[in-house]
């Protein structure tokens, strides 16, 4: 066979290469639309950490924020978008609602990422139960928040010679002194999820973690109608006397700002409040103190996680898998949690660089796991299905904003919970 001329052979070979290239589908451009409710100052900084990480890794981020702390508004948007056949690709979701959505068959399994990244070794078993459905990973946890924190302004407390109260009795005494001195004792935002946040810390503080579990997790009727529960509502009524007139419908971060500025002495809120302190350049544990809510003998757990709604477009599925991988990565878990106020969900990550409140959270978490006093937060959707949580929120808020007696509240609560189950 005559030898082909050198140039011709090169030409033919490059034509063949071009042909192969043309037949190869274009590389996917990982893209995700992310539905979240992180819109306060500290929360937005945290979400930016995530976004930048994703974009640095070549992803395209489409932001879909829904304002409103606690995420109740975001849940409504999610439901209507799914019904309209327009599910976002990545969605902030937690607790039992993860399994509820998984049972609808609309969540993408994350087992391949989980296996490649060794999630079995990284995620605490208590969280694995939450983020798996039928043995498959369907969500990726980004953090561990503690709900039962009392934030206090040391200068405001010092005006009445007080320290952060350790029991509800002490709390009432300190708050009474503050009120008499013209200082708002408790910064609060009157929204159902914020009322419920205080309520569950009172349940824990007055009843103890075993009682908390019976009443707010197992929904035991005896516990729900007990004298302890009557006392819980009595304490809620007392607390109502310690909030300022402008409390109604105030966002939680504005309440945090009141404590930062010394306009109020204390706030009961999860450690996302710390995200606001950090964003404002305050030193947590010094400028604003972090102690556990009065009488706490445990750790009220709230963990944010993301699920991926099944997508057909290959750019979207590539984006979802990339996001899932990054979210449990060391760099992201470190930077994100420093900003968010939480501690890493990646349990093997060292706590270097975290502030005093985060260190306490991490130690108390380990202690609570050992002592079996780690309890899922009812107010933050970790403990019971949405319908039951809704029943709690309705009664707690109705009681807080009226002169309903504690006995009536207990009766209504037990009825509402039974109906919602």
Alpha helices, DSSP H, located in 247-376: 252-261, 273-279, 314-327, 330-340, 356-371
Minimum CB separation from ligand GAL for residue 70, in Å?
Answer: 5
Would you give the binding string for ligand GAL spanning residues 244-263, x where CB under 6 A is met? --------x-----------
CB of 43 or CB of 53, closer to ligand GAL: 43
CA distance 61 to 175: 46
Q: Which residues lie below 8 Å from residue 51, measured CB to CB, with a gap of 6+?
A: 34, 61, 63
CB of 43 or CB of 355, closer to ligand GAL: 43
Region at 381 (left for phi over 0; alpha for psi -120 to 50; beta for the rest): left
One DSSP character per residue, 33-93 reads EEEE---SHHHHHHHHHHHHHHHHTT-EEEEEE--SGGGHHHHHHHHHHHHTT---SEEEE
CB of 194 or CB of 320, closer to ligand GAL: 194
Among 71, 88, 124, 141, binds ligand GAL (CB under 6 A): 71
CB of 339 or CB of 373, closer to ligand GAL: 339
Minimum CB separation from ligand GAL for residue 337, in Å?
Answer: 11
Beta strand pairing status for 60-65 and 184-186? Answer: unpaired
Give how many residues touch ligand GAL by CB under 6 A.
12
Minimum CB separation from ligand GAL for residue 107, in Å?
Answer: 19
CA distance 13 to 346: 50
Minimum CB separation from ligand GAL for residue 43, in Å?
Answer: 5
Under rule CB under 6 A, residue 70 binds ligand GAL: yes
CB of 71 or CB of 165, closer to ligand GAL: 71
Under rule CB under 6 A, residue 389 binds ligand GAL: no
Under rule CB under 6 A, residue 276 binds ligand GAL: no
CA distance 392 to 398: 10
Stretch that binds ligand GAL, among 64-72, 148-156, 219-227, 396-404 (CB under 6 A): 64-72
CA distance 109 to 84: 22
Using CB under 6 A as the binding rule, the residues of this chain from 316 to 355 that contact ligand GAL are none
Minimum CB separation from ligand GAL for residue 94, in Å?
Answer: 7
CB of 360 or CB of 380, closer to ligand GAL: 380
Cβ-based neighbour number of residue 221 at 10 Å: 13
Minimum CB separation from ligand GAL for residue 418, in Å?
Answer: 26
CA distance 190 to 249: 5
Q: Which residues lie below 8 Å from residue 372, measured CB to CB, with a gap of 6+?
A: 209
Cβ-based neighbour number of residue 185 at 10 Å: 25
CA distance 150 to 292: 6
Minimum CB separation from ligand GAL for residue 383, in Å?
Answer: 13
CA distance 82 to 72: 16
φ and ψ of 193, to 5 deg: -70, -30
**Chain residue whose CB lies nearest ligand GAL:** 69
CB of 37 or CB of 400, closer to ligand GAL: 37
Residue found by looking up tokens 């890493």 in the block:
344
Among 145, 188, 274, 389, binds ligand GAL (CB under 6 A): 145
Among 213, 325, 380, 399, binds ligand GAL (CB under 6 A): 380
Stretch that binds ligand GAL, among 65-73, 166-174, 352-360, 363-371 (CB under 6 A): 65-73
Using CB under 6 A as the binding rule, the residues of this chain from 34 to 63 that contact ligand GAL are 37-38, 43
CB of 69 or CB of 88, closer to ligand GAL: 69
Using CB under 6 A as the binding rule, the residues of this chain from 150 to 189 that contact ligand GAL are none
Packing angle, helices 330-340 and 314-327, rounded to 10: 70
CA distance 152 to 270: 13
Residue 100, token pair as written in the block: 């509820």
Q: Which residues bind ligand GAL (CB under 6 A)?
A: 37-38, 43, 69-71, 145, 252, 272, 302, 304, 380
């Amino acid at each position: 066979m005559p030898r082909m001329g050198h140039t011709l052979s090169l030409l033919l070979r490059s034509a063949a290469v071009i042909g192969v290239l043309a037949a190869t589908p274009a590389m996917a451009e990982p893209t995700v639309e992310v539905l979240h409710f992180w819109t306060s100052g500290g929360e937005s900084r945290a979400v930016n950490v995530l976004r930048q990480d994703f974009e640095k890794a070549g992803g395209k981020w489409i932001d879909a924020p829904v304002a409103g702390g606690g995420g109740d508004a975001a849940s409504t948007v999610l439901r209507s978008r799914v019904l309209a056949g327009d599910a976002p690709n990545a969605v902030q979701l937690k607790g039992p609602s993860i399994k509820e959505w998984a049972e609808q068959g609309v969540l993408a399994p994350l087992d391949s990422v989980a296996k490649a990244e060794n999630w079995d070794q990284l995620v605490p078993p208590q969280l694995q139960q939450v983020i798996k459905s039928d043995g498959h990973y369907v969500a990726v946890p980004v953090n561990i928040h503690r709900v039962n924190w009392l934030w206090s302004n040391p200068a405001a407390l010092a005006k009445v010679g007080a320290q952060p109260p350790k029991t509800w009795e002490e709390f009432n005494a300190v708050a009474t002194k503050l009120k008499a001195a013209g200082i708002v004792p408790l910064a609060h935002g009157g929204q159902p999820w914020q009322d419920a946040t205080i309520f569950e810390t009172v349940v824990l503080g007055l009843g103890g973690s075993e009682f908390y579990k019976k009443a707010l997790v197992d929904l035991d009727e005896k516990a729900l109608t007990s004298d302890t529960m009557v006392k819980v509502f009595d304490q809620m009524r007392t607390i109502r006397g310690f909030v300022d007139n402008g409390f109604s419908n105030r966002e939680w971060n504005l309440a945090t700002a009141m404590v930062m500025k010394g306009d109020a002495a204390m706030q009961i809120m999860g450690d996302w409040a710390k995200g606001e302190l950090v964003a404002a350049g305050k030193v947590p544990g010094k400028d604003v103190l972090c102690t556990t809510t009065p009488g706490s003998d445990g750790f009220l757990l709230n963990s944010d996680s993301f699920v991926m709604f099944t997508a057909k477009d290959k750019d979207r599925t590539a984006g979802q898998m990339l996001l899932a991988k990054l979210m449990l990565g060391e760099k992201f878990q470190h930077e994100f949690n420093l900003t968010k106020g939480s501690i890493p969900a990646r349990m093997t990550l060292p706590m270097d660089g975290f502030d005093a409140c985060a260190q306490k959270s991490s130690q108390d978490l380990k202690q609570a796991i050992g002592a079996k006093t780690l309890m899922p937060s009812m107010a933050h959707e970790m403990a019971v299905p949405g319908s039951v949580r809704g029943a709690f929120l309705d009664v707690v808020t109705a009681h807080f904003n009226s002169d309903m007696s504690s006995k009536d509240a207990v009766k209504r609560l037990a009825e509402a919970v039974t109906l919602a189950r």
